[in-house]
């Protein structure tokens, strides 16, 4: 896309420079360019030689790229936060299980009289 844009701008600059020096050569070049684009269109090819439209398409593509990057970052953050929540929940459950096991063992030892009250 950038290559097409630079090529179209170079051609337009060339035509404007020719208009300043040699008017007939500039009109011939314009006419040649018009015929070439007409033949391309007749063959069914898309002609991308308008710098304004190419700039607009390029800016739309950039905006879309930024939008996708932002959405991806949001998804990535959501995944990380969910993982942290799950890890915290697992750690809490393991701690609770460990605490229950210890209290059950102490209760059993007190019942057997191995640990005084």
Q: What is the pLDDT of residue 47?
A: 87
Q: What is the pLDDT of residue 109?
A: 93
* Cβ contact 51:9 at 8 Å: yes
Structure tokens at 63: 């905006």
Burial 42-72 (b: 16+ CB within 10 A, else e): eeeeeebbebeebeeeeeeeeeeeeeeeeee
Q: What is the pLDDT of residue 53?
A: 93
Q: What is the pLDDT of residue 15?
A: 86
Q: What is the pLDDT of residue 116?
A: 82
| Mean pLDDT per 10-residue interval, the chain, length 117 residues | 87 87 89 92 89 94 98 98 98 98 94 84
Could you give the CA distance from residue 60 to residue 63 in angstroms, rounded to a whole number?
5
Could you give the CA distance from residue 18 to residue 27 in angstroms, rounded to a whole number?
9
């Amino acid at each position: 896309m950038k290559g097409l844009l630079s090529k179209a701008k170079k051609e337009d600059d060339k035509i404007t420079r020719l208009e300043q020096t040699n008017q007939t050569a500039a009109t011939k070049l314009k006419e040649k360019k018009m015929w070439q684009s007409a033949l391309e269109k007749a063959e069914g090819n898309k002609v991308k030689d308008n710098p304004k439209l190419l700039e607009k398409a390029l800016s739309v593509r950039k905006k879309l790229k930024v939008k996708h990057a932002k959405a991806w970052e949001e998804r990535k953050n959501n995944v990380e936060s969910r993982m942290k929540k799950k890890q915290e929940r697992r750690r809490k459950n393991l701690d609770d299980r460990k605490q229950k096991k210890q209290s059950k063992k102490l209760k059993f030892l007190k019942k057997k009289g191995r640990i005084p009250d």
